[in-house]
Amino acid sequence: MAAIRLQDVAAHAGVSMKTVSNVVHNYPHVSETMRAKVQKAIDELGYRPNALGRRLATGHTGMLALAFSFVTIPYFAELAQVMTDEARKRGYRLLLEQTNNTLEGERAIVSTEEAGLVDGLIFQPAQMSPVELARHRGDVPLVLLGEGPAPVGFDHVMIDNIAAADAVTSHLIALGRRRIAFVGHEEGALAETSRQRLAGYQQALHRAGIPLDAQLLIASRTVSSHDSAEAVGHALDRRVSFDAIVSRDDLAAIGALRALQERGFSVPGDVALTGWDAIPVGAFTHPSLTTVQADMHALAVVALDMLEERISGYDGIGRHRLVDFELVIRESAPAVSAVS
Amino acid sequence: MAAIRLQDVAAHAGVSMKTVSNVVHNYPHVSETMRAKVQKAIDELGYRPNALGRRLATGHTGMLALAFSFVTIPYFAELAQVMTDEARKRGYRLLLEQTNNTLEGERAIVSTEEAGLVDGLIFQPAQMSPVELARHRGDVPLVLLGEGPAPVGFDHVMIDNIAAADAVTSHLIALGRRRIAFVGHEEGALAETSRQRLAGYQQALHRAGIPLDAQLLIASRTVSSHDSAEAVGHALDRRVSFDAIVSRDDLAAIGALRALQERGFSVPGDVALTGWDAIPVGAFTHPSLTTVQADMHALAVVALDMLEERISGYDGIGRHRLVDFELVIRESAPAVSAVS
DNA sequence: TCCGCAATTTACAGCGCTGTAAGCCGAGTG
DNA sequence: CACTCGGCTTACAGCGCTGTAAATTGCGGA
């Protein structure tokens, strides 16, 4: 079935293409008679506008892209969901792109070989150096997410990881814990996310006058439940002792929980535990996870606001925004009052 | 910064647009001299082809869409990941679309107001009636996924849910369990997925000569960990007794696990438990989940094969393919030998 | 009846790119 | 030496749509 074109409708209705176009777009200055006649032709022919033609002509596509490492990471799935809804609300369609957490993947995103496909890009980088990122050609409006490299001059949104890590660590301290481990950061080069969360953790310890014990920094080969379970398991087997764990994220916390339970430790009795990201399954582990929840809706709103400003021509300096977070207190590190 | 066009490069290099186009596309019959000259111009100007123009001219976009309810459901996140990789391997870019599991959402997908944006569509419907789906305008090639409505005449891929449910139930029977509950199907109208899994469950019971006990069909308000935990909790509180659970999916299993553990039941000691989908976190619950794993790679390959055939003009009758599954035996319902 | 004005409608020129067919040029052939 | 042949390059006409500016229409008032 050859596609029906605007041209065909115009011929069928005996009017000009532009009039059909006007009807399709509900352009106000069209007489009722004409509108009815054209609409009839549209219906009869089953005409549907071709997105490409329209977009070529108008110069913008109504599509935005959101790029991050993997959709299979629950945090990003959630982000994708929230962003998609918020973008749709603003009349955009959101494409999801995965970088697979590789440098090439990220390069492919930023140096999009093909221009013109999307009106703007929201990107959470992890591998690229800020220097390289800064060389990004300015032709597509860009907003950066997360704690990764964010060269000055780019719009950027993140949550205050240091404050959040401080808050979550302080919560454990308030619970009376003193030997608080940090679990799940990378063994090798620390990602900026891990660095900041560690910094907040240290800050809270310091303020409480608790010395930092390097033994309690339990790194993991990769950021995953599997490697975190392994790392915590090893630590326990080496008789490293602690009474609380701040995990880099919920997946790490789930791994840690598993390692603890396998060895008969009770949570939060023996070891209190916190996660990060508030992934859905964290509410159904046993015990459920106390965690840090970024205000993801605000994140989406702020990011899209900035992106839309850029799209509509704003060309000022890079803005830097923090969005709020919230401690979600659940069983693995209960409220202070619940303990006393 | 106005974008550089093919025209600009052509002018800069002093050749025709078409020659530049040929160089960009590595068309073989271009002399080395010419190629070098043009390439130089491309580099100097920083030219990048405009996707829209190209696509308008060639008539296809190199993009496919994958539509399902929510990315936040781990199974779909995984599906998206695998499909994206497989599509990329074939030179396509995959757009993800969410229907939010609503009828409007699904209608929006199928009756795409805007044509021409993607070359083909892979769609896992859940709400639409087969009749309505069958009215889908044939202009964009379509492959259906899952157990939902699949009118004859459409290409369709799924796993054999009945066989898988039979296998997983039989595994529990082999473990010596006799009071086997089914958990997590919808309270109201059953989705086809649930229906088939229940059928396989009944089939296995029947073959083993175990009568079906309606008390052991523990429905849940929605398919989610939350509602499944609640439903199983209620059943336990009502003293419904069972020694195994077949869950409709891993999320339901996680909810069930939580309900059991809260009440002091041991898994698999008191109650053996199976899930479905092999979501990553299922390996790190305590106990880890025995589950059904669809061969998702095969699913992606088959679906994309069929879609590509349609795209390249095949117009025959609808094909119906099954892909394999595998039982992943973990702690929540261990291997038979491990128990004896 | 004719004119001027506002409201509609139309013609046309692209948006950036590619397919086709025609044009050009040097080498090989009789 | 004229001429064909094949490889390279170019001119041109869209792909389907929209913005602009110009043309047309209808209407009230002079």
Q: Residue length, chain B?
A: 340
Q: What percent of chain A has pLDDT over 70?
A: 97
**Pairing label, strands B325-328, B155-159:** unpaired
Q: How far is residue B52's CA from residue B74's CA, in Å, rounded to a whole number? A: 33
Residue A60 has pLDDT above 90, yes or no: no
Peptide bond into B287 cis (omega under 30): yes
Shared domain check, A332 and A186:
yes
Query: Running DSSP on this structure, what letter comes out for residue B216?
Result: G
How much is the pLDDT for A275? Answer: 98
Residue A326 has pLDDT above 70, yes or no: yes
| Structural domain containing residue B250 | 161-294+328-339
Q: How far is residue A325's CA from residue A277's CA, in Å, rounded to a whole number? A: 10
CA distance A85 to chain B (A): 9
Residue B313 backbone zone (phi > 0: left; psi -120 to 50: alpha; other: beta) = left
The stretch A81-89 carries a mean pLDDT of 96
pLDDT tens-place string over residues A95-106: 898 999 999 989
- The gap between B57 CA and D15 C1' (Å) is 5
Check which CATH number belongs to the domain holding B76 and give it.
3.40.50.2300
Q: How far is residue B192's CA from residue B186's CA, in Å, rounded to a whole number? A: 10
Q: A110 falls in which pLDDT band (50, 70, 90)?
A: confident
A182 belongs to a structural domain: yes
**For an interface test with B, which of A284, A310, A332 has the most B Cβ atoms less than 10 Å from its Cβ?**
A284
Q: What phi, psi does B98 have (nearest 5°)?
A: -110, 140
Q: Structure tokens of A41?
A: 């032709």
Is B138 an 8 Å CB contact of chain A? Answer: yes
Q: What percent of chain A has pLDDT over 90?
A: 67
B172 belongs to a structural domain: yes
Q: How far is residue A334's CA from residue A267's CA, in Å, rounded to a whole number? A: 10
A232 belongs to a structural domain: yes
Residues A66 and A98: beta-carbon distance below 8 Å: no
**B3 and A80: CB-CB below 8 Å?**
no
Residue A255, C-beta contacts closer than 8 angstroms, at least 6 positions apart = A184, A220, A224, A225, A226, A227, A228, A229, A230, A231, A232, B284
**For an interface test with A, which of B52, B140, B227 has the most A Cβ atoms less than 10 Å from its Cβ?**
B52
Residue A279 has pLDDT above 70, yes or no: yes
Is B11 an 8 Å CB contact of chain A? Answer: no
Strand order in the sheet with B217-220: B217-220, B180-186, B244-247, B272-274
Is B102 an 8 Å CB contact of chain A? Answer: no
With CA atoms as reference, the chain B residue closest to A51 would be B114
Q: Which H or E run includes B186?
A: strand B180-186
Shared domain check, A152 and A14:
no
Q: How far is residue B208's CA from residue B101's CA, in Å, rounded to a whole number? A: 37
Shared domain check, B279 and B194:
yes
Shared domain check, A274 and A205:
yes
Q: Structure tokens of A118?
A: 């999307």
| A112 vs A340 pLDDT, higher one | A112
The tally of domains found in chain B comes to: 3
How much is the pLDDT for A300? Answer: 98
CA distance A128 to chain B (A): 21
pLDDT tens-place string over residues B139-171: 789 999 998 777 888 999 999 999 999 999 999
How much is the pLDDT for B247? Answer: 98
A299 belongs to a structural domain: yes
Q: Structure tokens of A334?
A: 């209960």
Q: Structure tokens of A268?
A: 């939060």
Is A313 an 8 Å CB contact of chain B? Answer: no
Which one-letter amino acid corresponds to residue B25? Answer: H
Residue pairs spanning A and B at CB distance below 8 A: 144
Q: How far is residue B199's CA from residue B193's CA, in Å, rounded to a whole number? A: 10
Q: What phi, psi does B273 have (nearest 5°)?
A: -145, 135
List of long-range contacts for B3-10, beta carbons under 8 Å, 24+ apart: B3/A115, B3/A116, B3/A139, B3/B48, B3/B50, B4/B45, B4/B46, B4/B47, B4/B48, B5/B47, B5/B50, B6/B47, B6/B49, B6/B53, B8/B45, B8/B47, B9/B38, B9/B41, B9/B42, B9/B45, B9/B47
Is B72 an 8 Å CB contact of chain A? Answer: yes
How much is the pLDDT for A113? Answer: 60
The stretch B305-324 carries a mean pLDDT of 92
Residue B113 has pLDDT above 70, yes or no: no
Q: How far is residue A206's CA from residue B282's CA, in Å, rounded to a whole number? A: 37
The stretch B16-38 carries a mean pLDDT of 89
Q: B338 falls in which pLDDT band (50, 70, 90)?
A: low
| A227 vs A127 pLDDT, higher one | A227
Residue B340 has pLDDT above 60, yes or no: no
Q: How far is residue B190's CA from residue B250's CA, in Å, rounded to a whole number? A: 18
Is A3 an 8 Å CB contact of chain B? Answer: yes
Shared domain check, B215 and B105:
no
Shared domain check, B333 and B191:
yes
Q: What percent of chain B has pLDDT over 90?
A: 68
pLDDT tens-place string over residues A165-209: 999 999 999 999 999 999 999 999 899 999 999 999 999 999 999
Give the C-alpha distances (Å, rounded to integers) separating B224 from B227, B247, B250: 6, 11, 9
Shared domain check, A264 and A130:
no
A255 belongs to a structural domain: yes
Q: Which H or E run includes B327?
A: strand B325-328
Q: What phi, psi does B187 have (nearest 5°)?
A: -65, -45
Q: How far is residue B24's CA from residue B6's CA, in Å, rounded to a whole number? A: 10
B309 belongs to a structural domain: yes
pLDDT tens-place string over residues B31-72: 888 899 999 999 998 888 888 898 889 888 889 999 999 999
Check which CATH number belongs to the domain holding B31 and give it.
1.10.260.40
Q: How far is residue A171's CA from residue A178's CA, in Å, rounded to a whole number? A: 11
CA distance A45 to chain B (A): 12
Residue A20, classified by CB atoms within 10 Å of its CB into exposed (0-12), middle (13-18) or buried (19+), is buried
Residue A339 has pLDDT above 70, yes or no: no
Shared domain check, A28 and A175:
no
**B81 and A98: CB-CB below 8 Å?**
yes
Residue A219, classified by CB atoms within 10 Å of its CB into exposed (0-12), middle (13-18) or buried (19+), is middle
Shared domain check, B286 and B165:
yes
B67 belongs to a structural domain: yes
Residues B95 and B64: beta-carbon distance below 8 Å: yes
CA distance B255 to chain A (A): 6
Q: Where are the beta strands (DSSP E) in chain A?
A: 63-68, 93-98, 120-123, 142-145, 155-159, 180-186, 217-220, 244-247, 272-274, 291-294, 320-323, 325-328
CA A243 to chain centre: 31
Shared domain check, A241 and A300:
no
Whether nucleic acid strand D comes within 7 Å of the CB of A18, the answer is: yes
Shared domain check, A218 and A153:
no
B58 belongs to a structural domain: no
Shared domain check, A213 and A335:
yes
